[in-house]
Amino acid sequence: DGGITQSPKYLFRKEGQNVTLSCEQNLNHDAMYWYRQDPGQGLRLIYYSQIVNDFQKGDIAEGYSVSREKKESFPLTVTSAQKNPTAFYLCASSPGLAGPVDTQYFGPGTRLTVL
């Protein structure tokens, strides 16, 4: 069954701790994305990667880091420098071939709560 998996579904961390959110896809997509959703706001792009070993900052990259060592994996680390980490995090992927018309396929999301 092809798709995108994110784990865990819910995550609780103490303030000041780094935490890594997992995102895996078996769609053979080149591009992957991390979004954050807060109440009353649209999805905001944190980081994206168009190819293995390369990634770019999105609109709200401060306090986050990513890696793209494998095509199927794009983990997101929320560092202690992120001032407001409690949010819902969505990972997505797209074939990466069609640029602006590429459809993005989303995972189920991880809700992170920092206590």
Partner 1 sequence: ILNVEQSPQSLHVQEGDSTNFTCSFPSSNFYALHWYRWETAKSPEALFVMTLNGDEKKKGRISATLNTKEGYSYLYIKGSQPEDSATYLCASYVDGGGNKLTFGTGTQLKVEL
Determine which residue in the list 21, 32, 34, 48 makes contact with partner 1, applying CB under 8 A.
48
Determine which residue in the list 27, 72, 77, 105 makes contact with partner 1, applying CB under 8 A.
105
- What is the SS3 assignment for 100? helix
C-beta of 43 vs 52, nearer to partner 1: 43
Stretch that binds partner 1, among 18-26, 33-41, 60-68, 76-84 (CB under 8 A): 33-41
Can you tell me which residue has the tokens 């995108």?
A: 4
DSSP string computed for 20-58: EEEEEE-S--SEEEEEEE-TTS--EEEEEEEETTEEEE-
Residues 60-79, interacting with partner 1 (CB under 8 A): none
CA neighbours closer than 13 Å in the CB half-sphere of residue 17? 13
Positions touching partner 1 (CB under 8 A) are 4, 33, 35, 40-45, 48, 50, 56, 58-59, 90, 99-101, 103-109
